[in-house]
Amino acid sequence: MAAEEGLLSFIGDIYEASYRPGHWGTVLDRLCRLLGAKSGGIHVEDHASGKRYLLANHGLPRFAEATYRLGLSRHDPVYRIQAARPVAEAALVVRHDEQVAENPLYYRLIMKPNDLGYVAAISLFNDKEWHAGIGVHRSFKAEPFGDRELQLLDVLAPHFQRALRIDKALQQATHRAASLQSVLSELMHGVVVLNGQDQVTYHNAAAERLLSRHAGLLMDGARLRTWYPSDAAELWAAVAGLRQGKARQQAVGLNHPDRPHPLIVLATLREDAPESLSGVYGEGEIVLYVSDPGHPFDACEEDLAALFHFTRAESGVASALVNGLSVEQIAERHQVSRETVRSQLKSIFGKLGVSKQQDVVRLLLNSGLNRRL
């Protein structure tokens, strides 16, 4: 009876996580304890959005989430075996004693260093919409997962499936109903909205970052100004042309003597912008979309820190490295010593699991964080 009550309590946890996403970690922790697993993860690959992520993980190395997000898991034998199996049928998919001969590289680089002796897995969904599943691991020194553990996964599968469905539906609803300002703040473009007196009534976080780097366009209180008077004349002529009905959109380039490329500003009438954003635009009449083609890597520090567990300083160093700066140039830009930058690089290498600067560049450029337009 106690065991049955414990299972019902766990199923309750699963459904709680469906509407409290932060609870998925607790669910996976309990699942690993129920199955006698040292680590595990719930993975999701949404084919419609192209997003892949670990919904929750327990006991996995830090690089696991980044690896899955980048799609490198497709080269993992566990992923391939799991994807080929029927949905909602758990199995022991990997044994270390078999992988020595079948996949020696995987055994040597992944299984052995991370003590992944046995892996049990179950697919919860695997169709045109998405692929989602659970993988749990035991140590080399442990016994393989047995029938009891696999049967328990089979019993729990329908509950995980329903909970994931609820979780996805709620995420979609939350996304639709999210604050319009938050949505705009995450756009790749800088967005600046002008009212009938050419005053700024709204600008998003991306615009603030772009204009802080490229002074071809500046915000002076509620007013915009350009570095060169000739650019100002071109910008305001474009805005006037929109108001007079001469065009539906106008593009201008705004220059600065220290930057080799101009800021690109696409000006449009408010009615040509998404109607759903009218709550943010308020009384605005003109929407300016701003981009900087001369800045190839534009991931915000918060995104880098969240994905790779960087500090703010490490995020700045990593971004500068991707943009081609040397250690000396990074030190000069950040006004720190070269030894400090080297120490930060060493920490970055450790968090990414790499040993070369070019590996940092490759990993970040393929991370999906680049905001370049």
Q: What is the pLDDT of residues 119-142, one digit of tens each?
A: 999 999 999 989 999 999 999 999
Are residues 92 and 114 both part of a single domain?
A: yes
Please indicate, yes or no, if residue 154 is contained in any of the structural domains: yes
Residue 9, domain member (yes or no): yes
Domain match, 110 and 69 both = yes
CB atoms within 10 A of CB 164: 21
Where does a domain end: 123, 147, 177?
A: 177
pLDDT at res. 25: 92
Residue 187 Cα to chain centre, angstroms: 13
Give the model's pLDDT for residue 281: 60
Same domain (yes/no): 143, 193: no
Q: Are residues 16 and 163 in the same domain?
A: yes
pLDDT value for 138: 96
Residues 196/283, Cβ–Cβ less than 8 Å = yes
Q: Give every residue of the chain whose pLDDT is below 50, as ranges.
A: 1-2, 176-188, 275-276, 368, 371-373
For residue 371, being part of any structural domain is answered with no
**Same structural domain, 194 and 170:** no
* The domain boundary residue, chosen from 261, 291, 321: 291
Confidence (pLDDT) at 179: 40
Residue 136 — φ and ψ, nearest 5°? -130, 155
| CATH number, domain with residue 360 | 1.10.10.10
Name, in order, each residue with C-beta under 8 angstroms of 323's C-beta and a sequence gap of 6 or more: 295, 296, 297
The C-alpha atoms of residue 126 and residue 111 are separated, in whole angstroms, by: 25
Token pair in block for residue 186: 């995450």
Q: Which two tokens stand for residue 125?
A: 């969904």
pLDDT confidence of residue 224: 96
Give the residue from 177, 194, 214 where a domain finishes: 177
Token code pair at residue 292: 């900087």
Per the listing, tokens 């998003």 go with 204
The reply to whether 8 and 148 lie within a common domain is yes
Statement to judge: residues 214 and 245 lie in one domain = yes
How far apart are alpha carbons 352 and 62 in whole angstroms? 8
pTM, to two decimals? 0.49
The residue segments making up the domain with residue 338 are 301-365
Residues 204 and 269 in one domain: yes
Domain annotation covers residue 265: yes
Question: Are residue 158 and residue 21 in the same domain, yes or no?
Answer: yes
pLDDT of amino acid 184: 43
List the strands of the sheet with 51-58, edge to edge.
51-58, 39-46, 130-138, 118-126, 91-95
pLDDT at 290: 83
With contact defined as beta carbons under 8 Å apart, do 288 and 265 qualify? yes
Among 187, 242, 254, 181, which Cα is nearest to 217's?
Answer: 254
Cα–Cα dist 184/276, whole Å = 11
Strand partners, 45: 52, 131
Q: Please check whether residues 51 and 152 belong to one and the same domain.
A: yes
Q: What is the pLDDT of residues 228-273, one digit of tens each?
A: 999 999 999 999 999 998 877 787 889 989 887 788 788 888 776 5
Per-residue model confidence (pLDDT) at position 180: 42
CATH number of 195's domain: 3.30.450.20
pLDDT for the residue 176: 47
Q: What is the CATH number of the domain that holds 110?
A: 3.30.450.40
CA distance 342 to 69: 27
Question: What pLDDT does residue 119 have?
Answer: 94
The answer to whether residues 146 and 75 belong to one domain is yes
| Overall number of domains in the chain | 3
193 and 275 housed in the same domain: yes
* Closest by CA position to 251, among listed 236, 267, 232: 267
Would residue 279 count as lying in a domain?
yes
Bridge partner residues of 263 (DSSP) = 254
Residue 296 lies in a domain: no
Tell me if 373 is assigned to some domain: no
Are 340 and 330 a contacting pair, CB within 8 Å?
Answer: no
